[in-house]
Chain A
Amino acid sequence: MLFHTWTFLFFFLIVFGGYLALRPTRLWTSWLLLASYVFYGWWNPFYLLLIVYSTVLDFGVVAMMDRQQPGSSNRRPWLIVSIVNNLTLLAFFKYADFLIENLNALGANFPEASRLMPFGLEYLLPVGISFYTFQSLSYTLDFYRGTIKRERSFVRFATFVTFFPQLVAGPIERSKNLLPQFRHAPRITTQHLTDGLSLFLVGLFKKLALANYLALYVDLVYSAPGDHNSIALLFATICFAWQIYFDFSGYTDMARGIARMMGFNLMLNFNHPYLATGLGDFWSRWHISLSTWFRDYLYLPLGGNRRGELITCRNLLIVFLASALWHGAAWHFIVWGALHAVGIILTRTLERSTWYREHLPDTIKRLWVFAFVCFAWIFFRAETVGEAWLIVTRICTLDGAHPTTWPLPLGWLVLAAFAYQLSSLTAPTRRFITSSPVRIATATCMLILLVFYSSSGGAFIYFQF
């Protein structure tokens, strides 16, 4: 069930109505849990088995840990059970195909070797598995560390794992933030409703009018990069940078808006990432919930930046490769992650220098960060590393052999996206943008454009992860 569908509208109206009616009773969490299971089961009811398994396992693991003394080493095996189970689930559905494909490719060099799974292994990746697995895992990790108390209600915990607004594409919530919100029925004020509706409108607009439109051009060019010249490939790459931002942040906005209408606060997941003045800064603004997850549960436990420059570089490389693998089991994702890791390793000293921080104009910094991020997006978006390399070489060699076609409105759209982001930087433009008449006019135009200028489009990009 996608947020931008009529089906979801009906679903939400029923859920919201029931939620309002049940808030004075103890049944409201059960109602939200039921709604979340219906929401998830709408894709494929069999997926529910997985999410229930993951939920029961982590709930049980923490209950077993709770039986041990705090700080006791007896807790560790239970933590390992949770980590292994969750990661195995993820690995089976996300990486088995990749592993077998690569082993088979390797085995092809040895004529006598038999092929692994010669019949092929086409798993149907359960939507959102990477998101809820990480969310559930954060609960066991936090409990192990002693930063949260054990949740004694299974219904509450299950609602935390499956909470439908953020179930399939985040934000990946921390138990510390979201779980306590299920302890008492949240207050719902007019501001919650208006904030929620505003966020939902913005998200809907980002998805239907912007991301889907950009996708038309990106898909056209990236489906046959060999047929397009350097300008088209460059423009398509810039379009993809905006497409993925609008698509993913649009989903997050809608998720936060829906939760907000019901009185819940979900974390901020995007904060104008293309205004970043450094690669580190970019990752503190892009997919914040995943970046902070890796920071807290992988980077810092590995030693963070406290154990010398070499270990820091190693940790950064591990984190970015893990992040790449989280996105998908394919070499082009790994190259994308490696590029960001190398980029950050190479620039972190520079970014801390006085010259960079105080003398280099922010515009130059933003331009270089955007250029680097776009360069890395080529590997993220292309189907294979080979295709990505073809695109890079075509762009770099200014290949003009093929005619360029790109629709003018798309060019304006990209310029408008830049202009809107930049408008937040100066006080007068910020004041203008946030003035009441401008906001009303903007929202009205968004609604009108949604009717006349939106393109039909399927799922969100991040559903595949």
Chain B
Amino acid sequence: MPASQLQDDFHYPPHALRLGARELLLTGGLFVLFGFLAPGLWTGRELFEPGADYRVPYELSNDYWLYERHLREASKDETAVLLIGDSVIWGEYVTREGTLSHFLNEEAAGNQHFVNAGLNGLFPLALEGLVEDFTHPVRRRKVILHANLLWMTSAESDLSSTKEQVFNHQPLIPQFSPPIPCYRAPFEKRISNLANRNVSLFAFSKHLQNAYFDQLSIPDWTMERAHAWQAPARHLLAGHLPEEPHEDPDRGETSSRHKSWSDGTRSPQSFPWVSPDESLQLAAFKRLTTLLLHRDNELLIIVGPLNEHMIAEGSLSAYRKLRSELVNWLQERGILHYLPRVLPSEHYGDASHPLTHGYRQLAHEIYPLPTFQKWLE
């Protein structure tokens, strides 16, 4: 007997949706099935052809589903070596043909495929979350992890200050533990962030919003955009995955941002470095390293090179102490690591980001190293 005909004193409006136990189970089953099938079916439909130097476009920096898809595609190549890190790996001032992964690919001349798995706006606390939830396709792969000590220049950068801060990639940072004093999101937001990270259907839904609906929810998109008359489904089916512009006014050697840090009026600065024992970012980086090792990734850590020309003399010793602390920690655990030489001053765009020539030089220094070659084998 259908549930709607059961005798009960509970009042239902006529023809209200009333499901019996079996119907609810079936509904749940169909929904779960949809959750599994929809992203896969969409993947088959969505044209995604990452070239050798593909990186997740700047506009889609929050699209973690796309990031995971990028890694899944890249991991199909047996020779793939992933470069994971923040905007230093991604290439803040350079086009995708000016990144470290690009020049390593040039050096490798087809023997290996170095994949740009950096994401703009990341930092170790967020990188930890990204790796935890969105890098499953690259288990047991070779990974070059970049350590950027810039995030420990001050309590604010380290996110260990108690003053509330707004920063990128909040969904990726630890929501509850360890506590991040400057992160004051309400309980609801934190739970929601965890759900979005752990339920792939939610991440997929965010991908559609990010990639096709100007990073708005679909209802908001129908309201706020001039093409409100267009049905969202038609827009979605007619749409294409956004790609990096060929002529990016903000990146590349022709852009006004692509200039040495010393071209302007900037002079060396003193940084109030955080203590290694108190640094949240350093602790996150260590946890991240351990996680990758547990996943059987063959790991190589590249520490820096930070723009030491920009660090005032008095501040350098604190930086080196911090770096030694990290290096000692890596050595104690037998983790392969490399500290590249500091690049010439003019090859830096700021305190940590190299310019195109800097990346070229870095790749040229790293690739021929016997340790590196041995690791690649």
Residues in chain A within 8 A of chain B (CB atoms): 5-7, 10, 190-191, 193-195, 197-198, 201-202, 212-213, 216-217, 220, 260, 265, 267-268, 270-272, 405-410, 423-424, 430, 433-434, 436, 439-440, 442-444, 447-448, 451-456
Contact = CB atoms under 8 A, between A and B. Distances in A.
B219 A198 contact: no
Interface string B219-251: 110110000111110000000000000000000
B295 to A, nearest CB: 28
A439 B17 contact: yes
B4 interface: yes
A448 B222 contact: no
Contact of B222 (A10, A201, A268, A407): A407
Interface stretch (B25-33, B46-54, B332-340): B25-33
Contact of B27 (A190, A434, A447): A447
Interface residues of B, number: 45
A439 B23 contact: yes
B217 A409 contact: no
Given A195-B8, A455-B220, 9 more contacts: A7-B188, A198-B16, A216-B219, A220-B223, A436-B2, A436-B23, A440-B26, A454-B217, A455-B217
Interface string B1-41: 01110101111111111111101101100110010000000
B219 A455 contact: yes
Contacts, number: 122
Contacts of A7: 187-188, 191
A166 to B, nearest CB: 15
Given A213-B219, A216-B223, A452-B205, A439 B18 contact: yes
A194 B23 CA distance: 9
Helix, strand, loop or mixed for chain B's interface?
A: helix
A272 B21 contact: no
A448 B6 CA distance: 28
B301 interface: no
B201 interface: yes
B367 interface: no
A265 B191 contact: no
A274 to B, nearest CB: 12
24 contacts: A191-B8, A194-B18, A194-B19, A194-B24, A195-B3, A198-B17, A202-B17, A217-B223, A260-B10, A268-B13, A272-B14, A408-B230, A409-B219, A409-B231, A423-B15, A424-B14, A436-B2, A443-B23, A443-B24, A448-B31, A451-B202, A453-B218, A453-B219, A454-B217
A423 B232 CA distance: 26
Nearest to B190: A6
B297 to A, nearest CB: 32
Nearest to A410: B222
B165 interface: no
9 nearest interchain CB pairs?
Answer: A6-B191, A407-B222, A455-B219, A407-B228, A268-B11, A443-B27, A424-B15, A213-B219, A444-B30
A5 B222 CA distance: 24
Looking at A190, A198, A433, the one whose CB has the most chain B CB atoms below 10 A away is: A198
A264 to B, nearest CB: 10
A211 B20 CA distance: 26
A456 B217 contact: yes
A439 B3 CA distance: 11
Contacts of B218: 452-453
B208 interface: yes
Nearest to B208: A452
Given A407-B228, A409-B232, A447-B31, A198 B19 contact: yes
B376 interface: no
A443 B223 contact: no
B192 interface: yes
Contacts of B11: 267-268
Nearest to B38: A448
B3 A191 contact: yes
B195 interface: yes
Given A7-B187, A198-B18, A407-B229, A440 B208 contact: no
Contacts of A454: 217, 219
A268 B16 CA distance: 12
B15 A212 contact: no
